[in-house]
């Protein structure tokens, strides 16, 4: 860290502080300093400190009221820790807090350092990365960019990658790993585990193998948290994260041909254990996301089933990594199927549902860990076709579409869809026309739609997460 090379120090406490060539307001400005910058004090003149900025390699004068002199002697460590405690939860003060965390870690004797400063440092670095990701292009963008530069000068690593056309910034989590390595409280370990396992900080460019390895590590980190003595709100957050991670592992196991039921059951158990009465307002969207992730992979918890002789699904291997779905009946076996459709997605044969006349079959197919589609095989005249009902019309992200029942005596079926669209969570219960696959009616509650309320499948109602 930068502070390790300095002696008499001052930390800039105000943004847009001017470093001037002489101790006067009218003097030429050398550069603009940012809150959290560390300066070496070399003297005083009038109301100014004569300083040297090692980061920018500039000397000059700064008003004494815009900085705060500090000492990194062991005797001053408690005072530095007090300031760190004061600013750690103040949005917009992250760069200043990181500077004080660095000063404290420099001043405190090694044997006196606990998990607390690392907990604070990690929390501020993580919050700074989240704020910078959310405020791209906004008025305060330059200030956040300056704060990121200050954080980097103290050795805080914040990486970036592109997600959905925007740059996602994520803290690398070094301080949180130290929290887990040191004796720490249950709450400190929970905060560290949550920060290290964020879904939005998983690089979308990771391959399936790397993604599964990362998810296994995330599950291990979350399982290190003892929930017994945590506040209910924090307990909920850990369970929600576990549910999402285990749902992703269920998909990964199934995609590789490995047993997936255990992971899917674990995801369902974690979601079911949520105390909804203790969900904070800011956690409602997180709850929806966890439920959708679990909903996308819930068929992994169901046992394999044999094809129905009237109308059924058989799967065979296609090209490397490909699964071919064969629609069969009493007269058409796997050698001469009614329809053959191949995919690189994970196919859930146990999900196959057939209408009374055996003219329509629906099938759950999952191309991504958090995205499940509904395939619809239909007979029109003597011709069979296969079409896809996606969770939403937007690009694949987080969502699922699932069969919910047949409407007797009609060409209609019931479908539930839930997805994140333009940053909003949308859940709908729909009556779909089988001839066109267009939605005839929809509602945000099943009881608000008479056909849905009357004809919903008991098996669907018992399994779905949409009725949470």
Give the pair of three-digit tokens for residue 98: 């990181």
SS3 377: strand
Beta strands, E only, 381-468: 383-389, 399-407, 412-421, 424-433, 439-443
Whether residue 355 sits in one domain with residue 458: yes
Taking only the tens place, the pLDDT of each residue in 291-347 is 999 999 999 999 888 878 889 999 999 999 899 999 999 899 999 999 999 999 999
DSSP 300-322: GGSPP-PPPSSEEEEEEE-STT-
Straight-line distance from the first to the last Cα atom of the chain, in angstroms, rounded to the nearest whole number: 48
CB 271 within 8 A of CB 318: no
Q: Is residue 444 part of a domain?
A: yes
pLDDT of residue 136: 66
Please state, for a pLDDT cut of 90, what percent of the chain lies above it: 87
The answer, yes or no, to whether residue 172 has pLDDT greater than 50, is yes
Whether residue 438 sits in one domain with residue 327: yes
Whether residue 382 sits in one domain with residue 255: no
Q: Is residue 404 part of a domain?
A: yes
Whether residue 259 sits in one domain with residue 222: yes
pTM of the model: 0.91
Q: Which helix (H) or strand (E) holds 380?
A: strand 371-380
- What domain range is 13 assigned to? 2-70
Q: How far apart are CA 376 and CA 362, in angstroms?
A: 5
The H-assigned helical ranges of 39-185 are 77-87, 94-107, 116-134, 141-153, 174-181
DSSP 420-440: EETTEEEEEEEEEETTT--EE
The answer, yes or no, to whether residue 5 has pLDDT greater than 50, is no
Which residues are 159's β-sheet partners? 170
Of 270, 301, 332, which closes a domain?
A: 301
Taking only the tens place, the pLDDT of each residue in 239-261 is 999 999 999 999 999 999 999 99
* CATH number of the domain bearing residue 34: 2.30.30.40
Whether residue 268 sits in one domain with residue 404: no
Q: CA–CA distance from 145 to each of 33, 142, 157, 346 (Å)?
A: 13, 5, 14, 42
CB 313 within 8 A of CB 329: no
CB atoms near residue 313 (< 10 Å): 24
Taking only the tens place, the pLDDT of each residue in 258-301 is 999 999 999 999 999 999 999 999 999 999 999 999 999 999 99
CB 282 within 8 A of CB 130: no
What total number of domains does the chain contain? 3
Closest C-alpha among 45, 54, 57 to residue 10: 54
Q: Is residue 459 part of a domain?
A: yes
pLDDT of residue 138: 64
Whether residue 446 sits in one domain with residue 346: yes
Rounded (5°) CA angle 422-428-430: 135
Give the pair of three-digit tokens for residue 21: 């060539």
Q: How far apart are CA 115 and CA 167, in angstroms?
A: 31
Burial of 188 (0-12, 13-18, 19+ CB in 10 A): buried
Q: Is residue 120 part of a domain?
A: no
Could you give the dihedral angle defined by the CA atoms of residues 428, 370, 299 and 378, in that order, rounded to the nearest 10 degrees? 60
SS3 42: strand
Taking only the tens place, the pLDDT of each residue in 380-427 is 988 999 999 999 987 778 999 999 999 999 999 999 999 998 888 999
Taking only the tens place, the pLDDT of each residue in 63-73 is 999 999 999 99
Q: Is residue 424 part of a domain?
A: yes
Of 70, 95, 112, which closes a domain?
A: 70
Q: Is residue 78 part of a domain?
A: no
The answer, yes or no, to whether residue 2 has pLDDT greater than 50, is no
Whether residue 453 sits in one domain with residue 316: yes
Whether residue 280 sits in one domain with residue 221: yes
Whether residue 340 sits in one domain with residue 456: yes
pLDDT of residue 4: 43
Computed over every residue of the chain, the mean pLDDT equals 93
> Strand 371-380 vs strand 383-389: parallel, antiparallel, or unpaired?
antiparallel
Beta strands, E only, 155-280: 158-163, 166-171
Average pLDDT score over residue span 141-166: 90
Q: Is residue 415 part of a domain?
A: yes
pLDDT of residue 7: 54
CB atoms near residue 356 (< 10 Å): 9
Average pLDDT score over residue span 363-391: 95
Per-residue DSSP letter, 268: H
Q: Is residue 235 part of a domain?
A: yes
Whether residue 449 sits in one domain with residue 325: yes
Of 46, 70, 94, which closes a domain?
A: 70
Whether residue 363 sits in one domain with residue 227: no
Whether residue 319 sits in one domain with residue 291: no
Sheet of 67-70, strands arranged across: 29-33, 17-20, 58-63, 48-53, 38-45, 9-12, 67-70
């Amino acid at each position: 860290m930068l502070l390790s090379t300095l002696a008499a120090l001052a930390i800039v406490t105000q943004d847009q502080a001017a470093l001037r060539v002489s101790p006067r307001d009218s003097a030429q400005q050398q550069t603009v300093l940012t809150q959290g910058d560390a300066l070496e004090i070399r003297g005083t003149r009038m109301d100014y400190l004569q300083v040297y900025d090692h980061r920018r390699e500039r000397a000059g004068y700064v008003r004494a009221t815009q900085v705060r002199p500090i000492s990194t002697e062991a005797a001053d460590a408690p005072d530095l820790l007090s300031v760190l405690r004061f600013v750690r939860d103040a949005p917009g003060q992250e760069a200043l807090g990181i500077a004080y965390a660095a000063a404290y870690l420099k001043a405190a004797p090694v044997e006196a350092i606990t998990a607390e400063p690392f907990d604070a440092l990690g929390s501020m670095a993580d919050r700074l990365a989240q704020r910078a990701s959310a405020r791209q292009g906004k008025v305060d963008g330059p200030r956040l960019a300056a704060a990121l530069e200050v954080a980097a000068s103290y050795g805080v690593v914040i990486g970036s990658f592109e997600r959905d056309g925007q740059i996602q910034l994520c803290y690398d989590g070094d301080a949180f790993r130290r929290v887990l390595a040191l004796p720490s409280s249950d709450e400190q370990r929970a905060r560290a585990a949550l920060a290290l396992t964020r879904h939005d900080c998983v690089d979308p460019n990771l391959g399936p193998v790397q993604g599964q390895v990362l998810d296994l590590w995330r599950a291990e980190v979350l399982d290190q948290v003892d929930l017994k003595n945590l506040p209910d709100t924090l307990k909920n957050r850990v369970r929600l994260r576990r549910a999402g991670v285990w749902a992703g592992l269920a998909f990964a196991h199934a995609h590789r041909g490995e047993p997936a039921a255990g992971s899917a059951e674990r995801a369902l158990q974690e979601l079911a254990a949520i105390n909804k009465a203790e969900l904070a307002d800011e956690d409602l969207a997180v709850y929806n996301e966890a439920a959708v992730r679990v909903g996308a992979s819930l068929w992994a918890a169901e046992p394999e089933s044999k094809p129905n002789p009237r109308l059924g699904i058989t799967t065979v291997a296609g090209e490397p990594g490909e699964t071919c779905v064969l629609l069969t009946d009493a007269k058409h076996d796997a050698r001469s199927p009614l329809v053959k459709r191949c995919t690189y997605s994970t196919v859930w044969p146990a999900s196959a549902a057939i209408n009374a006349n055996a003219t329509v079959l629906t099938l759950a197919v999952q191309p991504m860990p958090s995205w499940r589609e509904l395939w619809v095989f239909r007979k029109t005249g003597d011709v069979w076709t296969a079409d896809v009902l996606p969770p939403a019309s937007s690009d694949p992200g987080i969502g699922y579409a699932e069969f919910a029942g047949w409407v007797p005596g009609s060409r209609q079926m019931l479908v539930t869809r839930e997805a994140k669209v333009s940053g909003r969570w949308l859940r709908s219960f729909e009556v779909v026309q089988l001839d066109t696959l267009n939605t005839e009616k929809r509602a945000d509650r099943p009881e608000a739609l008479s056909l849905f309320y009357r004809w919903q499948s008991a098996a669907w109602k018992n399994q779905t997460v949409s009725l949470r």
